[in-house]
Chain A
Amino acid sequence: MSSIIIETSGLTRNYGDICALKPLDLVVPEGEWLTVMGHSGSGKSTFMNLVGGLDRPSAGSLRVGGKDLLAFTEDGLARFRREFVGIIFQQHHLVPYLTAVENVMLAQYFHSVPDEAEARSALERVGLGHRLKNRPGELSGGEQQRVCIARAIINSPKLLLGDEPTGNLDHKSTVMVMELLKELRAEEKFTVIMVTHNQEVAGWGDRTIYLDDGMLVREERKVEA
């Protein structure tokens, strides 16, 4: 955890008159697992969208991986998302008529070129070696989320963003997904930013920040037992 992967200064996002994210100063070291908590409308997803290059800030500065995201063109930002970021959504957003392996290969296709063997291997890593040819509708919620994890890590991102990835899962599946993420993070050394409502899920991270009405109100660091 030596170098800094995310550095924000006065990061702000306004939607018309509404200030979704008030000036935020934050530093995230490389390899950290940062949990972002807060109520609905507190600015968690806005923050994640800005960090992931899905949205542009209204003011302030934002450096991710040493690069100034504000300086990127749309093409540059798309390339940044392709090569630097992996995202896991609560709603999975898997293509329903593609199989699990094809969904992972789709991410490869938009990144560079598809490689089925590598996609299979990624699904095997998340424990879905027996579900390669199943479509999302034939998988459980936990399995679908594991396909999403395989899809998110297939392009070796430096930054993994999770927008309430366990929001739709039961306790058992939540634990399974979080353990899987922990294992993968240990192997791949990526940084995790996890947005959640769930205090239990927040316990998996190294640090938790709390947002309220678009403002950073509290910060907690996990104390190792």
Chain B
Amino acid sequence: MAMALKLIPHLIAWFGIVLIMLRGFSGRRSAVLLAGIFGFVIGVAGTLILYRSYPGSITFGVVKSTLGISFILLWGSSVFAIYRSTGRGKDTLRGERLISASSTACAVSCLASIVAGAVCACKLSSFATGGAIATVSLLLMLVSCCALAYAALAFEKRLPEPFRVSPAGMLAIVTALLLFSASSILRLDLFSPLSMKVMKGVHDFVHQFMESVLFPDHLFVRSYIWKSIGLLFSKEVGFWGGLIIWFTPAVLIVTAIAIQRLPSVAHIRQGAERRLQSAAAIRERRHRLVIPVLSVVFFAAAAYQSSFPSVEYWDPKPLPVTANQAGEIIIPKKGDIDLEDGKLHKYLFKQGEREARFFVLLSPTGELTVDLDACAICKPDGYGQAEGSVICYYCKTLIPLETVGKPGGCNPVPIAFSVKSESVVIDGTTLINSWGATVQATTRVKEGGK
């Protein structure tokens, strides 16, 4: 039951989505409600079926891609809103016409609810892998979904009449709520990967720029110049750049509504009546601003959740190990620690002044893997384990457990090992050299690699 409580934030987000859609499509309440519940159930069922069929990260990938598409759609919509904002009344008229169509109401409610349901199902699958807990949680979730939808219907009727939702505002808040809901699930989080993309994009741009001006960037540039350029490759640049991309659509929609021209009142002869009409239009515009401004709050909450996740990582303190006379590190598979328990086990090996951190992990395919607690790209901040993945502490990239042991990208650098008489055997010198080469490469440019 306590675990099922983890679904509460997601169900609250669902409540918000239904509430906004009910007000946005206020003439089609029944259609919105039914399409919403239907979509939610379809989303949950589809995701669980997909997850059962493909237990890896495919399901999460599909849901995450859908969230990404929603965000891109919001970006397009916000740019369009700005473009149309100076056109006198045109945007509003088209939006009103679109929003009043029954088919639009059903389609939008159903699609948004499918995604909301899929996100809830992903959360469910992340802590309830099967059995009674999963079944009870699933049932609770579906009952709550229906109850909250009807609660939203009752609450919506009590909302003040002037409180209106523009089409762009509705898209902004629904996307914000979905992303807020998804940001608490590591494998669905979009903000951290976005920050990473920005960081990588800046790095690649600088690199390519220097290449294009025939100025090789890794050979002749002096270290103090690299220190300055290196600031561009820092995590902070990625974070702030990510924030800009994250918030821009909502801010553009707020701006579009704020600068939208008011309907002309020049034809009204009587001054007082003319001013009353102007005041009503200004008031109505203010009411339409509430939802996009609220969406900024939810985007902020999603970014916060992503940057400071409440997920507890499995991050054991590295245990010191030594090599025998043959230079081999021998770790028993079933000693004080069970190497095959599916958890990440960290070790620290010292050889003279040099040291190396590594971990041993049993992959979901049943094979042991030994890897450096560092990758070939990032500053060696190490890895933690959570929700079917290991996470790079530096760049927050999630690496599915299935791919740990494979080289490349942000994956931990794999180390050759052998299994002899129920022990894992690693060559100490190889380990130290590999660590040295990796760390040297990733810390040469500046304090951190990427």
Q: Are A83 and B275 in contact (CB under 8 A)?
A: no
Residue among B270, B278, B279, B282 making CB contact with A156, cutoff 8 Å: B270
Q: Let me know if A174 is at the binding interface, CB within 8 A.
A: no
Q: Let me know if A155 is at the binding interface, CB within 8 A.
A: yes
A108 — which chain B residues lie within 8 A by C-beta?
A: 275
Q: Let me know if A112 is at the binding interface, CB within 8 A.
A: yes
Q: Let me know if A63 is at the binding interface, CB within 8 A.
A: no
Q: Are A115 and B275 in contact (CB under 8 A)?
A: yes
Kindly report which residue of chain A lies nearest to residue B273, judged by CB atoms: A156
Q: Let me know if A154 is at the binding interface, CB within 8 A.
A: yes
The B contact surface, by secondary structure, is: helix
CA of A118 to CA of B266, assembled, Å: 13
Q: Are B279 and A112 in contact (CB under 8 A)?
A: yes
Residue among B271, B274, B276, B282 making CB contact with A83, cutoff 8 Å: B276
Residue among B271, B273, B274, B282 making CB contact with A154, cutoff 8 Å: B271
CA of A156 to CA of B277, assembled, Å: 14
* Per-position binary interface string of chain A over residues 97-129, scored 1 when its CB falls under 8 Å from any chain B CB and 0 otherwise: 000000000001001110100100000000000
B273 — which chain A residues lie within 8 A by C-beta?
A: 156
CA of A146 to CA of B272, assembled, Å: 19
Q: Are B279 and A113 in contact (CB under 8 A)?
A: yes
Q: Are A155 and B282 in contact (CB under 8 A)?
A: no
A111 — which chain B residues lie within 8 A by C-beta?
A: 272, 275-276, 279
B279 — which chain A residues lie within 8 A by C-beta?
A: 111-113
Interface residues on A, range: 10 to 19
Q: Are A113 and B278 in contact (CB under 8 A)?
A: yes
Query: Which residues of A in the span 61-114 have a Cβ within 8 Å of any Cβ on B?
Result: 83, 108, 111-113
CA of A83 to CA of B276, assembled, Å: 9
Query: Which residues of A in the span 133-174 have a Cβ within 8 Å of any Cβ on B?
Result: 154-156
B275 — which chain A residues lie within 8 A by C-beta?
A: 108, 111-113, 115, 118, 155
Q: Are A112 and B278 in contact (CB under 8 A)?
A: yes
B278 — which chain A residues lie within 8 A by C-beta?
A: 112-113
CA of A3 to CA of B278, assembled, Å: 30
CA of A83 to CA of B270, assembled, Å: 13
A115 — which chain B residues lie within 8 A by C-beta?
A: 271, 274-275
Kindly report which residue of chain A lies nearest to residue B271, judged by CB atoms: A118
A112 — which chain B residues lie within 8 A by C-beta?
A: 272, 275-276, 278-279
CA of A113 to CA of B271, assembled, Å: 11
Query: Which residues of B in the span 248-297 have a Cβ within 8 Å of any Cβ on A?
Result: 270-276, 278-279, 282
CA of A108 to CA of B271, assembled, Å: 10
B282 — which chain A residues lie within 8 A by C-beta?
A: 113
Closest CB in chain B relative to A97 CB, distance in Å: 24
CA of A156 to CA of B274, assembled, Å: 11
- With a 10 A CB-CB cut-off, give which of B270, B271, B273, B279 has the most chain A CB atoms: B271
* Per-position binary interface string of chain B over residues 81-98, scored 1 when its CB falls under 8 Å from any chain A CB and 0 otherwise: 000000000000000000
Supply 17 further A-B pairs (C-beta < 8 A) apart from A111-B276, A154-B271: A83-B272, A111-B272, A111-B279, A112-B272, A112-B275, A112-B279, A113-B275, A113-B278, A113-B282, A115-B271, A115-B274, A118-B271, A118-B275, A154-B272, A155-B272, A156-B271, A156-B272
23 contacts between A and B (CB under 8 A): A83-B272, A83-B276, A108-B275, A111-B272, A111-B275, A111-B276, A111-B279, A112-B275, A112-B276, A112-B278, A113-B275, A113-B279, A113-B282, A115-B271, A115-B274, A115-B275, A118-B275, A154-B271, A155-B272, A155-B275, A156-B271, A156-B272, A156-B273
Q: Lowest 4 CB-CB distances: which A-B pairs, in order?
A: A112-B279, A112-B275, A156-B272, A155-B272
